[in-house]
């Protein structure tokens, strides 16, 4: 590999040649045996493991990448990774959000579009009100000021009126 090659490309090359799924330690060993990458880290296996996780389908966290090259294989003793048949693009659903007036961040997960909220027997208006209440509650929990349209403020969900939300402006 030429200089400046991203580590996920090197891992991809190793897994392409491998006949089975490999652990991060096994991948690192094969990289070293073939002289594919020069690690400038005290813990290069950790670098390999992190990059595998960032590009692994089904693992979502704030520093995960949109392009997924790998998948995990659940083994009894160790987690092993294999190469996907082709890279997959996924929309992120985990974000870091800065809370107003604090120095910390909150991790927020957004359900994918095909995630079903509530039962399918509910009317569209009821589902809309439920989602609106849940978002208002999330905003309140994160310390944000929230807003809802005037016509919606009299709507109720689980016995609560939208206008009762404390953070509503």
Summarize pLDDT for 126-141 with one digit per residue, the tens.
888 888 988 888 888 8
Which among 109, 64, 113, 55 has a CA at the least distance from the CA of 84? 55
pLDDT value of residue 138: 87
7-60 per-position pLDDT tens digit? 999 999 999 999 889 999 999 999 999 999 999 899 999 999 999 999 999 887
Regarding the domain delimited by 7-89, which CATH topology (the fold level of the hierarchy) does it fall under? Arc Repressor Mutant, subunit A (1.10.10)
Mean pLDDT, the chain, rounded, equals 84
Specify the 3-state DSSP secondary structure of 97: strand
Per-domain boundaries in the chain? 7-89, 108-164
Backbone angles phi, psi at 139, to 5 degrees: -60, -40
Residue pLDDT, tens place only, 67-88: 999 999 876 678 999 999 999 9
Residue 99 above 60 pLDDT? yes
């Amino acid at each position: 590999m030429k200089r400046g090659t991203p580590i996920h490309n090197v891992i991809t090359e190793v897994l392409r040649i491998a006949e089975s799924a490999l652990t991060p330690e096994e991948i690192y060993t094969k990289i070293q045996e073939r002289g594919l990458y020069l690690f400038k880290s005290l813990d290069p296996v950790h670098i390999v493991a992190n990059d595998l996780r960032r590009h692994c389908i089904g693992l979502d966290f704030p520093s995960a990448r949109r392009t997924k090259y790998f998948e995990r294989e659940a083994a009894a003793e160790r987690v092993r990774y294999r190469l996907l048949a082709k890279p997959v693009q996924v929309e992120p659903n985990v974000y870091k959000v800065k809370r107003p007036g604090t120095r910390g961040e909150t991790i927020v997960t957004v359900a994918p579009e095909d995630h079903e909220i509530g039962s399918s027997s509910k009317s569209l208006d009821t589902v809309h009100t439920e989602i609106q209440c849940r978002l208002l509650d999330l905003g309140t929990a994160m310390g944000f000021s929230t807003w809802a349209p005037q016509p919606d403020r009299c709507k109720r969900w689980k016995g609560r009126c939208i206008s009762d939300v404390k953070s509503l402006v």
